[in-house]
Amino acid sequence: MNARSTLDAGTVEKFLTVSDPWLSCEGCFEHIDVAVESLLATGSTIDEPLRVHLVSCAVCHEEAQRLAELVGIDLGLGESESRRRLEDAL
Amino acid sequence: MDGCTNVTRRPPDVTMTGELVGEDRPSRPLRPVGAPIPDVEWIERLTASGSVRVEAVAQLHDLMLRATRFQVSKMPEASMLGAARRDEIAHSAADEATVSALARLDSFEGRSRFTTWAYKFGILRAGVEVRRYAWRGRDIELHDVPEPATSSGSSPESQVEGNDLAAAVRRGLGQALTEHQRHVAVALLIDEIPIDILAERMGTTRNALYKTLHDARKRLRSYLESEGFPVDTLPKSAIR
Q: What is the 3-state secondary structure (H, E, C) of B47-113?
A: CCCHHHHHHHHHHHHHHHHHHHHHHHHHCHHHCCCCHHHHHHHHHHHHHHHHHHHHHCHHHCCCCCC
**Average pLDDT of A63-69?**
98
* Cβ contact, residue pair A7, B166, below 8 Å: yes
Using a CB-CB cut-off of 8 Å, the residues of chain B touching A62 are 127
What confidence score (pLDDT) does residue B153 get? 58
* Cβ contact, residue pair B147, A52, below 8 Å: no
The region of weakest confidence among B32-41, B164-173, B187-196 is B32-41
Using a CB-CB cut-off of 8 Å, the residues of chain A touching B234 are 16
* Cβ contact, residue pair B235, A52, below 8 Å: no
Q: Where in chain B is the domain with CATH 1.10.10.10?
A: 156-233
Tell me what percent of the residues of chain A surpass a pLDDT of 70: 93
What confidence score (pLDDT) does residue B18 get? 42
B156-233: CATH class: mainly alpha
Question: Taking 90 as the threshold, does the pLDDT of residue B95 lie above it?
Answer: yes
Q: What is the per-residue burial (b if ≥16 Cβ within 10 Å, else e) of B109-145?
A: eeebbbbbbbbbbbbbbbbbbbbebbbeeeebebeeb
Q: Which of B190, B210, B237 sits opposite A17 (nearest CB)?
A: B237
Residues 195-234 of B with CB under 8 A from A: 195-196, 206-207, 210-211, 213-214, 217-218, 220-221, 224, 234
* Cβ contact, residue pair B70, A66, below 8 Å: yes
Instruction: Determine contact, residues B169/B238, Cβ cutoff 8 Å.
Output: no
Whole-number mean pLDDT of chain B?
83
The region of weakest confidence among A8-22, A33-47, A69-83, B85-99 is A8-22
pLDDT digits (tens, 9 = 90+) for B134-191: 999 888 877 766 666 665 556 656 666 677 888 899 999 999 999 999 999 999 999 9
pLDDT band at A5 (very low <50, low <70, confident <90, very high): low
Residues 40-79 of B with CB under 8 A from A: 66-67, 70-71, 74
Q: Kindly report the nearest CA distance between residue A59 and chain B, in angstroms.
A: 7
Question: Taking 60 as the threshold, does the pLDDT of residue A62 lie above it?
Answer: yes
Identify the H or E element spanning A53.
helix A48-56
pLDDT digits (tens, 9 = 90+) for B100-134: 999 999 999 999 999 999 999 999 999 999 999 99
Q: With an 8 Å Cβ cutoff, is B123 touching chain A?
A: yes
Using a CB-CB cut-off of 8 Å, the residues of chain A touching B190 are 4-5, 7, 11
What confidence score (pLDDT) does residue B217 get? 95
Better-predicted residue by pLDDT, B70 or B240: B70
* ipTM confidence: 0.92
